[in-house]
């Protein structure tokens, strides 16, 4: 949702592509972005949707980060903070 409106599939794809591009800037060699998705957020104080970033390394180890905002509201600064919070 973006300010109360449901985004079209095309707009969701554009937003996801922008987030993916930003995430790739922080990935070291051997780390691969698997998925950026928006999921329902059950945490107290979280908006109704959260954004999840999933990454895999060459050995198959998966890592996930969450941002407590729908994809349409995620900023590049939030991505930077999340990706730098735990070194890959």
pLDDT tens by residue, 7-54: 788 998 999 999 999 999 988 888 888 899 999 887 777 768 899 999
pLDDT at 73: 92
The whole-number pLDDT of residue 1 equals 41
In the chain, domain spans: 9-85
Provide the token pair at 2: 């973006």
Q: What is the pTM assigned to this prediction?
A: 0.81
Nearest 5°: the CA angle 26, 32, 33 is: 75
CA atoms within 13 A on the CB side of 54: 9
Higher pLDDT, 78 or 47: 78
**Does the pLDDT value for residue 4 go beyond 80?**
no
Residue located via tokens 């729908």: 70
């Amino acid at each position: 949702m973006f300010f109360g409106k449901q985004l079209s599939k095309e707009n969701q794809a554009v937003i996801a592509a922008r987030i993916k591009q930003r995430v790739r800037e922080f990935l070291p060699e051997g780390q691969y972005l698997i998925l950026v998705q928006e999921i329902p957020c059950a945490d107290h104080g979280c908006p109704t949707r959260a954004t999840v970033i999933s990454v895999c390394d060459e050995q198959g180890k998966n890592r996930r980060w969450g941002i407590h905002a729908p994809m349409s509201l995620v900023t590049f600064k939030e991505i930077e903070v999340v990706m730098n919070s735990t070194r890959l």
